[in-house]
């Protein structure tokens, strides 16, 4: 399969791993953060930790939009969707995410009209097909998915679709990285930069990380070879004592980003003064709200939102895991009270969350004794 197989070529992967071994100083411990949940998932999915030397530690970052969404936001949206005239539409990612009284899927089982959509424009289609109902699209994601929500808002306005609104939870990646770097217990050597987000925002917004924080950041694709090559690029910078923004994912990411997408976002969204991130707390100017010009299509402006706040159980150490201070399995609840089926904390919720990825792909490997390689 084109654009996939060549990036999973075992020979090249082995070569990449050798290159990493050559560049890594055996007397040094490297802590690299992959910002994006997609990378966390890929690292576990492809078993890349098995091929990396032990002095390269990957810290899983905050880039899983489902994980960092406070439970109160889900409760708020589901409380609006209790109205039998409302259809609650969301991506599949959201369907098993628990609110206080259960996930959207569990609400569906109790009779709520919950639909899985594959793009926000599918939600518009739903609104057209159900003119007597109100379709509320639960929008989630970083700058990766925000442009498609923006275009959908523009379309709803242009076509005068009045039985449709967006419950907007879009967040932005840069303030989250800043929050991580501001954390006093955080020591990082470099960043594996987000791939999909950067197709929209480009590479320039990361320049302060290199300039002010003196950390290398390499924007990276999602295949095994992409990740290994990015680690090679970071190590090469560290070896030379450099700190700059580089793109390994040039086949997809334009340096300046996607101007049309950014324009659509600027037209429909503005920054919220602050927004709560699950596990990280309130971060200023870190999320998007819908502009007043689109108030009619903003669920929060159109309906009365209760503004529910739910704090995570004290025993859940999501914040520490999110910042890389603790490994998933070091949390007291991991694999006991907190599992992918019954997630207590944020990072167990989505398969891109570091706890869920670790639980699903890794933790039973811990006691492995036999050789793992497959026959040629």
Partner 1 sequence: MAHGAGGKASRRLVEGLFAPLFFGASAEPLADAAHLNINGARMAVTTDSFVVKPLVFPGGSIGELAINGTVNDLAVSGARPEAIVVTFILESGLPTDILQHEIQAMADAAQYAGVRIAGGDTKVVEHGKADSMYITTTGLGTPLPGVEINPQSVRPGDKVLLSGPIGDHGITILLARGELDMEGDLESDTRSVCPLIEAVVAAAGTGIRWMRDPTRGGVATSLNELARDCGLGVVLFEDHLPVHDAVRGACELLGLDPLHIANEGQFLAIVAPDLADAALGSLHSMPGGAEARIIGEVREQPACSVLVTTSYGGSRIVDMLVGDPLPRIC
Write phi, then psi, for 349 (nearest 5 degrees).
Answer: -75, -50
Instruction: Give the separation between CA 237 and CA 351, rounded to whole angstroms.
Output: 31
CB of 364 to partner 1, least distance (A): 5
3-state secondary structure of 56: strand
Q: Which stretch binds partner 1 (CB under 8 A): 140-148, 175-183, 264-272, 296-304?
A: 140-148
Q: Which stretch binds partner 1 (CB under 8 A): 44-52, 154-162, 270-278, 317-325?
A: 44-52
Q: Which of residues 353-372 bind partner 1 (CB under 8 A)?
A: 360-365, 367-370, 372
- Go through 164-195 and write b for each residue having 16 or more CB atoms within 10 A of its CB, e for each that does not: bbbbbbbbbbbbbbbbbbebeeeebbbbbbbb
Residue with tokens 């994006």, as numbered in its chain:
36
3-state secondary structure of 281: strand
Tell me whether residue 222 or residue 303 sits nearer to partner 1 (CB atom): 222
Instruction: Give the separation between CA 219 and CA 93, rounded to whole angstroms.
Output: 24
Q: What are the tokens at 123?
A: 């939600």
Q: Which stretch binds partner 1 (CB under 8 A): 93-101, 265-273, 278-286, 295-303?
A: 93-101
Residue 240 as a binder of partner 1 (CB under 8 A): the answer is: no
Residue 95 as a binder of partner 1 (CB under 8 A): the answer is: yes
Tell me whether residue 65 or residue 257 sits nearer to partner 1 (CB atom): 65
CB of 340 to partner 1, least distance (A): 6
Are the C-beta atoms of 267 and 126 separated by less than 8 Å? no
Q: Which of 96, 155, 157, 327 binds partner 1 (CB under 8 A)?
A: 96
Tell me whether residue 170 or residue 323 sits nearer to partner 1 (CB atom): 170
CA-nearest of 83, 75, 129, 130 to 101 is 75
Residue 158 as a binder of partner 1 (CB under 8 A): the answer is: no
CB of 223 to partner 1, least distance (A): 10
Instruction: Give the separation between CA 293 and CA 157, rounded to whole angstroms.
Output: 9
Question: In the beta sheet, which residues pair with residue 57?
Answer: 31
Residue 17 as a binder of partner 1 (CB under 8 A): the answer is: yes
Residue 112 as a binder of partner 1 (CB under 8 A): the answer is: no
Q: Which of residues 47-66 bind partner 1 (CB under 8 A)?
A: 47-51, 65-66
Are the C-beta atoms of 230 and 169 separated by less than 8 Å? no
Exposed (0-12), middle (13-18) or buried (19+): which is 311, by Cβ within 10 Å? exposed
Q: Which of 93, 113, 298, 300 binds partner 1 (CB under 8 A)?
A: 93
Residue 252 as a binder of partner 1 (CB under 8 A): the answer is: no
Q: How many CA atoms lie within 13 A of 346 on its CB side?
A: 32
Residue 373 as a binder of partner 1 (CB under 8 A): the answer is: yes
Q: Which of residues 312-341 bind partner 1 (CB under 8 A)?
A: 340-341
Residues that bind partner 1 (CB under 8 A): 1, 4, 10, 13-14, 17, 41, 44-51, 65-66, 91-93, 95-96, 105, 109, 116, 118-119, 122, 140-142, 144-145, 224, 340-341, 350-352, 360-365, 367-370, 372-376
């Amino acid at each position: 399969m084109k654009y996939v197989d060549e990036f999973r070529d075992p020979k090249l992967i082995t070569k990449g791993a050798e290159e990493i071994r050559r560049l890594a100083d055996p007397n040094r411990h490297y802590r690299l953060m992959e910002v994006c949940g997609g990378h966390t998932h890929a690292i576990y999915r492809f078993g890349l930790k098995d091929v990396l030397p032990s002095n390269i530690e990957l810290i899983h970052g905050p880039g899983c939009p489902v994980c960092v969404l406070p439970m109160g936001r889900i409760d708020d949206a589901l409380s609006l969707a209790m109205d039998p005239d409302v259809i609650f539409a969301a991506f599949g990612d959201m369907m098993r995410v628990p609110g206080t009284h259960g996930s959207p899927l569990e609400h569906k089982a109790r009779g709520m009209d919950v639909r899985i959509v594959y793009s926000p424009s599918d939600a518009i289609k739903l609104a057209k097909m159900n003119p007597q109902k109100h379709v509320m699209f639960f929008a989630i994601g970083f700058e990766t998915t925000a442009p498609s929500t923006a275009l959908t808002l523009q379309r709803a306005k242009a076509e005068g679709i009045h039985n449709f609104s967006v419950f907007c939870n879009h967040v932005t990646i840069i303030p989250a990285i800043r929050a991580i770097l501001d954390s006093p217990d955080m020591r990082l050597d470099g960043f594996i930069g987000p791939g999909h987000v950067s197709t929209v925002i480009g590479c320039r917004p990361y320049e302060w990380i290199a300039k002010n924080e003196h950390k290398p950041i390499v924007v990276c694709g999602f295949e095994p070879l992409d990740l290994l090559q990015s680690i090679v690029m970071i190590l090469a910078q560290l070896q030379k004592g450099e700190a700059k923004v580089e793109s390994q994912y040039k086949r997809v990411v334009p340096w300046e980003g996607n101007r049309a997408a950014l324009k659509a976002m600027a037209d429909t969204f503005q920054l919220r003064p602050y927004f709560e991130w699950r596990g990280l707390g309130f971060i200023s100017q870190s999320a998007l709200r819908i502009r007043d010009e689109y108030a009619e299509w903003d669920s929060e402006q159109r309906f009365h939102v209760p503004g529910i706040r739910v704090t995570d159980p004290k025993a859940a150490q999501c914040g520490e895991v999110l910042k890389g201070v603790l490994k998933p399995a070091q949390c007291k609840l991991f694999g006991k009270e907190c599992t992918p089926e019954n997630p207590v904390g944020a990072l167990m919720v989505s398969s891109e969350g570091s706890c869920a990825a670790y639980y699903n792909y890794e933790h039973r490997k811990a006691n492995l004794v036999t050789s793992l390689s497959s026959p040629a």
